[in-house]
Amino acid sequence: MRALVWFRSDLRIQDNTALHHACRTAGRGVIAVFAICREQWIEHDWGNAKADFVLRSAVALSTALEGLNIPLRIIRAARFEQVPEKLLSLAKRHACDALFLNREYEVNELRRDRAVTNLFEQHGRTVHAFDDQTIADIGALRTGTGGWYTVFTPFKRRWCETLKAQGIPQMWPEPRRQDDTGIKPQAIPTRLEDFTGECFADSWPTGERAAHHRLTAFISNSIDEYHELRDYPAIDGTSTLSPYLAAGVLSPRQCLHAALEANRGRLDSGKTGATTWISELVWREFYRHVLLGYPRVCMGRPFKLATEGLTWRDDKERFAAWCAGQTGFPIVDAGMRQLAQTGWMHNRVRMIAAMFLTKDLFVDWRWGERYFMRHLVDADFASNNGGWQWSASTGTDAVPYFRVFNPHTQSRRFDPQGSFIRHYVPELVDVPAERIHTAHGRLAGLDYPPPIVDRRNTRARVIGAFRGVHGPQ
């Protein structure tokens, strides 16, 4: 049997379920393929940072695969609809009898994979699909009544119980070198039409070695203090592994095993730093579970259906100020500028910026979701949608709709010295810590805008709007 392995959001050779099984069973060599779907990527709001990171990761993958004697071939299909035919013709050309892939859970991706499977089966080829994106089998985690979880804490409890009962999923061994097929790898373009090409490449080096280096450094230097430092954007207290997890350069199992090693094998006891970090990996799994159970979130719809009745403000001007980091709220502007300048934003600031857009400006969360997708190097549908809907109170947050962050209070609490603000908002570099959180041009004669919104009535306004659609809570 000759295997064709289709790489998508799993751009690595280590601990890759589909690749492992293909290498173990193929007798006449393995061929790899990656599909460039430019129009589909644009439609899915891929930005320059994400597209560049993925293409560079595919280059690194190709080199790693060469070491296993597996050539990486490229197909170009503008949209997913064209993928099945192109993939089949590649399989025919290179006499591949079976296709191996790791599942993706977004709606268009599921449809595409169904079409591929049907076509391959019609042409006498088998398709082997695996769950590899998560540590637990997220489709099998169900409530006592067989439903999908809608709240994180019980989901996490079940996640831990299941892993303890079934054992922690092991990592796959390094695949063995394959028989030579005589087929050559194909060059991967570094720049695509409508994308700018290299984007933040120095900050986000690709390849498995770079990812493992980051993981090891985080485990050695930061995981023990993670629970104390993770909320302070001026401190490098988090792993910055999200782009690697999103593109699958690193597997979540590899992350979990590294954390367990630092915590003497304990999943939810032992060192608080390690268990808090493991919880974040579970958040990632929770949002994939929500996507599987409630595919409507993948079609622009809110998780809480009643919130479809909200009339968001069509305020393009304030939205533009938010995008540009010119809201006059220093912590929000610092975060938005961090995103523009690095392709990444600290989690605490993502929440503050998202809550500001949806609660203070009352702008539709989908506008912010799209903007983040287009700019984040770690853009990941499930986590981004989950984070946005949580912030907008249209999602799975167990706290009812009155969770409204005050950006000034958040700023004083999580950037007390104003160091993060000063780094990204140089107009405020000389403002002392006690005034920086509320500083603006009118007050201090600075070249920095006054607040674009008077937030004195925010809370009452938001509660009024949500009460209108939900009724009193």
Ligand X SMILES: Cc1cc2nc3c(=O)[nH]c(=O)nc-3n(C[C@H](O)[C@H](O)[C@H](O)COP(=O)(O)OP(=O)(O)OC[C@H]3O[C@@H](n4cnc5c(N)ncnc54)[C@H](O)[C@@H]3O)c2cc1C
Q: Which residues bind ligand X (CB under 6 A)?
A: 230, 238-242, 245-246, 280-281, 283-284, 287, 347, 350-351, 354, 372, 376, 378-380, 383-384, 386-388, 391
Alpha carbon distance 459, 457 (integer Å) = 6
Residue 148: active-site member: no
Residue 205 CB, shortest distance to ligand X, in Å, is 15
Alpha carbon distance 221, 228 (integer Å) = 13
Q: Which is nearer to ligand X, 252 or 418 (CB)?
A: 252
Residue 382 CB, shortest distance to ligand X, in Å, is 8
Sheet harboring 30-36: ordered strands across? 72-76, 30-36, 3-7, 98-102, 126-130
Residue 300 CB, shortest distance to ligand X, in Å, is 16
On whether the CB atoms of residues 335 and 427 are closer than 8 A, the answer is no
Residue 113 CB, shortest distance to ligand X, in Å, is 22
* Virtual torsion, Cα 339, 292, 133, 90, nearest 10 deg: -100
Q: Which is nearer to ligand X, 346 or 440 (CB)?
A: 346
On whether the CB atoms of residues 379 and 372 are closer than 8 A, the answer is yes
Could you tell me how many helices (H) and strands (E) the chain has, helices first? 21, 5
The CA-atom distances, in angstroms, between 355 and each of 297, 307, 332, 364, 386 are: 19, 16, 10, 11, 13
Q: Which is nearer to ligand X, 87 or 256 (CB)?
A: 256
The CA-atom distances, in angstroms, between 397 and each of 332, 340, 391, 465 are: 22, 28, 8, 17
Determine which one of 6, 41, 344, 388 is catalytic.
388
Residue 352 CB, shortest distance to ligand X, in Å, is 9
Closest residue to ligand X: CB criterion: 387
Residue 41: active-site member: no
Residue 312: active-site member: yes
Determine which one of 312, 317, 322, 390 is catalytic.
312
Residue 347: active-site member: yes
Residue 119 CB, shortest distance to ligand X, in Å, is 31
DSSP state of 30: E
Transcribe 361-425 into DSSP letters: S---HHHHHHHHHHH-TT--HHHHHHHHHHHHTSSS-SS-TT----HHHHHHHHSTT-HHHHHH-
Determine which one of 69, 108, 347, 406 is catalytic.
347
Q: Which is nearer to ligand X, 37 or 278 (CB)?
A: 278
Alpha carbon distance 54, 34 (integer Å) = 11
Determine which one of 365, 369, 385, 390 is catalytic.
365
For residue 277, give both structure tokens.
């970090």
Determine which one of 148, 225, 280, 406 is catalytic.
280
Residue 277: active-site member: no
Residue 263: active-site member: no
On whether the CB atoms of residues 100 and 4 are closer than 8 A, the answer is yes
Q: Which is nearer to ligand X, 58 or 249 (CB)?
A: 249
Helices (H), 194-270: 208-221, 226-229, 242-247, 252-262
Q: Which is nearer to ligand X, 181 or 327 (CB)?
A: 327
Catalytic residues: 280, 283, 312, 347, 365, 388
